[in-house]
């Protein structure tokens, strides 16, 4: 799971537990050379700590570096937008796309010396499938995972899953040592086949994590440093101060007012437009808040938002106004939909009256410092103009858990714009993570059922129809796509991914 600029992810970021800002941070030496011509050390500034190193509980998004350091994935998402072999050297579907065959790389070992084989892969995948992690839904269509021999894993599905290969580049594809399954310290002491191992003695959980390059790693070309230190920062100002002080080589900048300041300090801003920010109008059946069950109320909310003004005020212009949650790279994207809800307070008030709420209503929404503070005041002001009286409350580190409980009918959020099917499973389907009320719409369900088995050309038509429908039904009130920024110093080169808020650690290297 990846929750936008904050982490959800998602992922993807989980906004949970950005606990501490890395006291006693290391001095970066990314430009130096260590053994084998690698950089001696990379110091990364991140905004979210892992809740557990158990891969069955993993999240991606802003937590990607922690997991990629110690675990390998079966497949690899690339900066070019492709899905390439990694631990799985071959991957093939049968004609109905209900059986996937994976050929597992030979000669790979875990950090405890155990051999990685198909049985180990199947065990990890089944733990993920049967677990209670935030991304367990990635396996919702999986019937069985078996290892008929030492190099073959077979995944059978109850129905085709067009996003499954992408899931294997993320948390569903993480592989751990079978011998570590029973380890009591697994949540804090991972045992994987990845390029680094966690130095537990040099790590302060929630604050600073130190990883050391593994000797004999099967893909030494991606071990660009002898050591990687990942520091977690509680707030954007602390991160910016570390950038200015030269304590980091790499920094995830979560709020726009730090971008120019980092650039002025001589850092490179590596960008992608992956996340959208806006309101999730979650209670579409009105089970918790009756007004939110009225489509005209949700449409009124969309008309009450001055998107260009918010983009300037909150994101300082770093982004693009939008009215839809699908990315521009999607077949679903229609630039005309960005004009469906122009800023029009009079129209919004008219819709509120037609819905029976001329006098407005009260609603409570959550806030999070990870997403800034200005935006919440502006949302309350904008909705107040049409009679919706917003009260914000800060749940602290319980933000995501409470949101998904679900505790609130609507919420300002930053979420990843996934590829088509993955996005529907993340935000739209009845059992999607960010459909916490389990809202079921027969029209949407029929479209998703058809999409699953349709030919590619028909899938493009269906996903476009779906996008138009949820925009018209005002399932969301997107404001803009934000420029996600990872800043790097002069000693560090970063290549971003089009499918994640942070780059692969393999694509961060000495300049």
Q: What is the CATH number of the domain that holds 317?
A: 3.10.105.10
**CA distance linking residue 145 with residue 356, whole number of Å:** 52
What is the SS3 string spanning 185-224?
Answer: CCCCCCCECCCEEECHHHCECCCEEEEEECCCCCCHHHCC
Of 24-28, 251-255, 424-428, the one with minimum mean pLDDT is 24-28
User: Residue 397 — pLDDT band, cuts 50, 70, 90?
Assistant: confident
The total number of structural domains that make up the chain: 2
Q: Which of 245, 234, 236 is nearest to 208 (CA)?
A: 234
What is the SS3 string spanning 240-252?
Answer: HHHHHCCCCCEEE
Instruction: Please state the separation of Cα 504 from the chain's center in Å.
Output: 13
pLDDT for position 32: 40
**97: which 2 tokens?**
């796309």
DSSP-assigned letter for residue 471: H
Contact between 247 and 262 (Cβ < 8 Å): no
Supply the range of the domain harboring residue 198. 29-232
Look at residue 239 and tell me if it is in a domain. no
Q: Both 217 and 316 in a single domain? A: no
**CA distance linking residue 363 with residue 104, whole number of Å:** 52
Q: Which of 167, 184, 192, 250 is nearest to 67 (CA)?
A: 192
Look at residue 21 and tell me if it is in a domain. no
Rounded average pLDDT over 218-239: 96
Residues in the chain: 511
Rounded average pLDDT over 108-119: 98
Rounded average pLDDT over 127-148: 95
pLDDT for position 437: 97
Q: How does pLDDT run across 152-210, given as a tens digit for each residue? A: 999 999 999 999 999 999 999 999 999 999 999 999 999 999 999 999 999 999 999 99
pLDDT for position 326: 96
DSSP-assigned letter for residue 287: S
**CA distance linking residue 140 with residue 302, whole number of Å:** 32
Rounded average pLDDT over 106-122: 98
DSSP-assigned letter for residue 346: H
**CA distance linking residue 511 with residue 33, whole number of Å:** 11
Look at residue 244 and tell me if it is in a domain. no
Q: Which of 199, 278, 270, 300 is nearest to 486 (CA)?
A: 270
Of 35-49, 123-137, 426-440, 486-500, the one with minimum mean pLDDT is 35-49
Average of per-residue pLDDT values in the chain: 91
pLDDT for position 98: 97
Of 4-18, 200-214, 351-365, the one with minimum mean pLDDT is 4-18
pLDDT at 19 over 50: no
Q: Both 91 and 207 in a single domain? A: yes
Q: Both 155 and 288 in a single domain? A: no
Rounded average pLDDT over 131-159: 96
pLDDT at 121 over 60: yes
**CA distance linking residue 60 with residue 209, whole number of Å:** 17
Q: Both 352 and 471 in a single domain? A: yes
pLDDT at 13 over 70: no
User: Residue 234 — pLDDT band, cuts 50, 70, 90?
Assistant: confident
Look at residue 509 and tell me if it is in a domain. no
Look at residue 256 and tell me if it is in a domain. no
Q: Both 401 and 323 in a single domain? A: yes
Contact between 332 and 463 (Cβ < 8 Å): yes
Q: Which of 175, 189, 209 is nearest to 87 (CA)?
A: 175
Burial of 81 (0-12, 13-18, 19+ CB in 10 A): exposed
pLDDT for position 467: 98
- Nearest 5°: CA angle at 64, between 482 and 79? 65
User: Residue 37 — pLDDT band, cuts 50, 70, 90?
Assistant: low
pLDDT at 239 over 80: yes
- Percent of the chain exceeding pLDDT 90 equals 84
Look at residue 316 and tell me if it is in a domain. yes
pLDDT for position 230: 98
The residue from 202, 232, 262 where one domain ends is: 232
Of 115-129, 200-214, 252-266, the one with minimum mean pLDDT is 252-266
Q: Both 341 and 226 in a single domain? A: no
User: Residue 257 — pLDDT band, cuts 50, 70, 90?
Assistant: confident
Q: How does pLDDT run across 469-495, given as a tens digit for each residue? A: 999 999 999 999 999 999 999 999 999
Q: Both 214 and 280 in a single domain? A: no
Of 14-28, 123-137, 268-282, 416-430, the one with minimum mean pLDDT is 14-28
End-to-end CA distance of the chain: 31
Q: Both 201 and 334 in a single domain? A: no
Contact between 248 and 43 (Cβ < 8 Å): yes
User: Residue 254 — pLDDT band, cuts 50, 70, 90?
Assistant: confident
pLDDT at 464 over 60: yes
Rounded average pLDDT over 433-438: 94
- Nearest 5°: CA angle at 149, between 158 and 97? 25
**CA distance linking residue 20 with residue 326, whole number of Å:** 34
Residues paired with 493 in a beta bridge: 509
Number of H helices, E strands in the chain: 13, 20
Q: Both 57 and 157 in a single domain? A: yes
Q: Both 49 and 168 in a single domain? A: yes
Look at residue 378 and tell me if it is in a domain. yes
Look at residue 494 and tell me if it is in a domain. no
pLDDT at 338 over 90: yes
Q: Both 303 and 394 in a single domain? A: yes
**CA distance linking residue 138 with residue 170, whole number of Å:** 10
Q: Both 377 and 453 in a single domain? A: yes
Give the CATH number, domain containing residue 55: 3.40.190.10
pLDDT for position 31: 40
User: Residue 134 — pLDDT band, cuts 50, 70, 90?
Assistant: confident
pLDDT at 25 over 50: no
């Amino acid at each position: 799971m990846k929750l936008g600029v904050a982490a959800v992810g998602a992922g993807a970021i989980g906004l949970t537990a950005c606990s501490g800002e890395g006291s006693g941070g290391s001095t970066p030496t990314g430009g130096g050379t260590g053994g084998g011509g690698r950089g001696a050390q990379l110091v990364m500034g991140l905004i979210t700590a892992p809740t557990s190193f158990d891969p069955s509980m993993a999240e991606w998004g802003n937590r990607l570096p922690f997991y990629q350091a110690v675990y390998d994935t079966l497949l690899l998402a690339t900066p070019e937008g492709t899905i390439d072999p990694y631990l799985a050297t071959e991957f093939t579907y049968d004609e109905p796309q209900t059986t996937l065959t994976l050929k597992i790389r030979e000669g790979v070992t875990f950090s405890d010396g155990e051999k990685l084989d198909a049985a180990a892969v199947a065990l990890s995948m089944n733990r993920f499938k049967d677990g209670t992690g935030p991304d367990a839904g990635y396996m919702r269509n999986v019937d069985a995972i078996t290892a008929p021999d030492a190099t073959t894993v077979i995944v059978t599905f109850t129905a085709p899953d067009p996003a499954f290969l992408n899931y294997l580049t993320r948390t569903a594809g993480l592989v751990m040592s079978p011998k570590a399954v029973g380890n009591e310290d697994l949540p804090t002491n991972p045992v994987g086949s990845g390029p680094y191992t966690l130095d537990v003695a040099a790590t302060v959980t929630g604050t600073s994590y130190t990883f050391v390059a593994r000797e004999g790693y099967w893909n030494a070309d991606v071990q660009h440093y002898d050591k990687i230190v990942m520091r977690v920062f509680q707030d954007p100002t602390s991160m910016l101060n570390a950038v200015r002080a030269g304590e980091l080589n790499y920094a995830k900048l979560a709020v726009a007012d730090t971008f120019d300041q980092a650039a002025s300090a001589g850092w490179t801003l590596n960008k992608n437009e992956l996340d959208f920010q806006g309101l999730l109008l979650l209670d579409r059946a009105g089970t918790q808040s009756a007004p939110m069950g009225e489509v005209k109320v949700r449409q009124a909310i969309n008309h009450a938002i001055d998107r260009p003004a918010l983009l300037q005020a909150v994101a300082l212009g770093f982004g693009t106004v939008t009215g839809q949650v699908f990315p521009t790279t999607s077949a679903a994207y229609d630039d005309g939909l960005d004009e469906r809800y122009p800023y029009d307070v009079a129209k919004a008030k008219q819709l509120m009256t037609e819905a029976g709420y001329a006098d407005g209503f009260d609603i409570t929404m959550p806030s999070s410092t990870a997403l800034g503070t200005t935006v919440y005041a502006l949302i309350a002001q904008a909705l107040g103009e049409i009679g919706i009286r917003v009260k914000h409350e800060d749940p602290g580190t319980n933000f995501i858990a409470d949101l998904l409980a679900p505790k609130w009918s609507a919420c300002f959020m930053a979420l990843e714009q996934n590829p088509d099917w993955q996005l529907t499973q993340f935000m739209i389907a009845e059992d999607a993570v960010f459909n916490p009320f389990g809202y079921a719409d027969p029209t949407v369900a029929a479209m998703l059922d058809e999409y699953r088995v349709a030919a590619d050309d028909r899938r493009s038509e269906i996903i476009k129809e779906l996008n138009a429908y949820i925009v018209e039904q005002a399932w969301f009130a997107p404001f803009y796509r934000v420029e996600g920024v990872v800043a790097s110093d002069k000693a560090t080169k970063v290549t971003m991914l089009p499918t994640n808020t942070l780059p692969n650690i393999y694509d961060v290297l000495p300049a």
